[in-house]
């Protein structure tokens, strides 16, 4: 893979406690979600249109480079553990963690990392979480505050990885996550109001349980949210009953029944197999060692 040339003047990702919202291009249309909007059909349609445009259509998101290499699958899972645990440590919103995982997956779908470089995935996880925090949080930690455990990365090196992520994603950081749709689908699929509170927690539990599965997370966020919500409400749906629910949605045309059904069935299998929940950071991202700036970013 090419090794981008970085200069001090080109580093735009600093350690300041500011947001990257001002850095977005005017055409990004990064509209913020509010509580009033979550159940609004028109607003959800805008989100669906943006999701389809950013995903290149209705097809699944391509994570084939990740799922075809065993070491990369493990490294990705460990990186997700790191993101979730570190996000919890800093008190970040769940949206921040999900957004950083979206950056991670989109980066890995566009750039391969050769030679089983576990340290590169760890560095990528830190950079993605830092960028997501700058997008979503009011106050963000300095790069030196991020726990590193197995490796020691200088702040300047993390900044360089941030810039590589930004360039790889074409500076499009306003990505849609499943969390944008969960309340909407719960309001449409659940007919018993007293079940909704428990269903919110159950839906989140399902999404967190399957987030490491690259096959599942390659579905569009709306599909993941719809399947998780339906599974939280009813674990025994058949195709015909699911079709009725999806067709009843004002925006149902943006959801392909086969995609939702496939995602739903895969999630149900994961539930049966008691997929481990993301509670601890695995230690297999590599042995402890220090690296210099010259060792890295030659991904």
- Please list the residues that pair with 290 across neighbouring strands: 152
Q: What is the pLDDT at residue 165?
A: 96
Per the structure, the count of domains in the chain is 1
Domain-located, residue 241: yes
Q: Which run of H or E residues covers position 270?
A: helix 257-272
Mean pLDDT of 151-159: 91
Give the orientation angle of helix 155-168 with respect to helix 118-136, to 10 degrees: 80
Q: What value does the mean pLDDT take over residues 2-31?
A: 35
Q: Domain for residue 172, yes or no?
A: no
Q: What is the pLDDT of residues 250-273, one digit of tens each?
A: 765 678 899 999 999 999 988 777
Tell me which residue has tokens 């008691």: 274
pLDDT digits (tens, 9 = 90+) for 171-182: 989 888 999 998
In a domain, 220, yes or no: yes
244 torsion bin: left (phi>0), alpha (psi -120 to 50), beta (else): alpha
Instruction: For residue 173, tell me if it sits in a domain.
Output: no
| Strand runs labelled E in the chain | 151-152, 289-290
Determine the straight-line distance between the first and last CA of the chain, rounded to whole angstroms. 6
Residue 88 lies in a domain: no
In a domain, residue 147? The reply is no
Domain span at residue 231? 178-272
Domain assignment present for residue 248? The answer is yes
Reported as a pLDDT band with limits 50, 70 and 90, residue 5 is very low
Residue 189 lies in a domain: yes
């Amino acid at each position: 893979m090419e090794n981008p040339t970085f200069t001090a003047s080109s580093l735009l990702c600093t350690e300041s406690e500011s947001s990257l919202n001002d850095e977005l291009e005017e055409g990004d249309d990064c509209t913020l979600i509010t509580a009033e909007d979550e159940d609004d059909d028109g607003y959800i349609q805008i989100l669906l249109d943006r999701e389809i445009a950013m995903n290149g259509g209705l097809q699944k998101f391509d994570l084939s480079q990740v799922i075809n290499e065993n070491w990369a699958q493990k490294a990705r899972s460990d990186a997700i553990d790191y993101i979730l645990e570190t996000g919890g440590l800093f008190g970040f919103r769940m949206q921040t963690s999900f957004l950083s995982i979206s950056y991670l997956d989109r980066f890995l779908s566009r750039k391969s990392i050769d030679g089983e470089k576990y340290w590169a995935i760890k560095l990528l996880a830190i950079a993605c979480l830092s960028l997501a925090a700058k997008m979503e949080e009011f106050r963000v930690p300095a790069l030196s505050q991020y726990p590193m455990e197995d490796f020691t990365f200088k702040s300047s090196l993390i900044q360089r990885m941030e810039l590589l992520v930004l360039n790889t994603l074409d500076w499009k950081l306003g990505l849609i996550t499943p969390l944008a749709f969960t309340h909407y689908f719960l309001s449409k699929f659940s007919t018993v109001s007293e079940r909704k509170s428990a269903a919110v927690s159950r839906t989140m539990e399902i999404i967190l349980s399957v987030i490491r599965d690259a096959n599942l997370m390659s579905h569009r966020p709306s599909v993941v949210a719809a399947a998780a919500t339906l599974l939280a409400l009813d674990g025994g749906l058949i195709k015909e009953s699911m079709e009725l629910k999806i067709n009843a949605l004002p925006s149902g045309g943006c959801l392909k029944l086969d995609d939702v059904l496939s995602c739903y069935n895969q999630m149900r299998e994961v539930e049966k197999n008691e997929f481990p929940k993301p509670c601890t950071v695995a230690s297999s991202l590599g042995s402890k060692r220090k690296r210099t700036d010259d060792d890295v970013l030659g991904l």
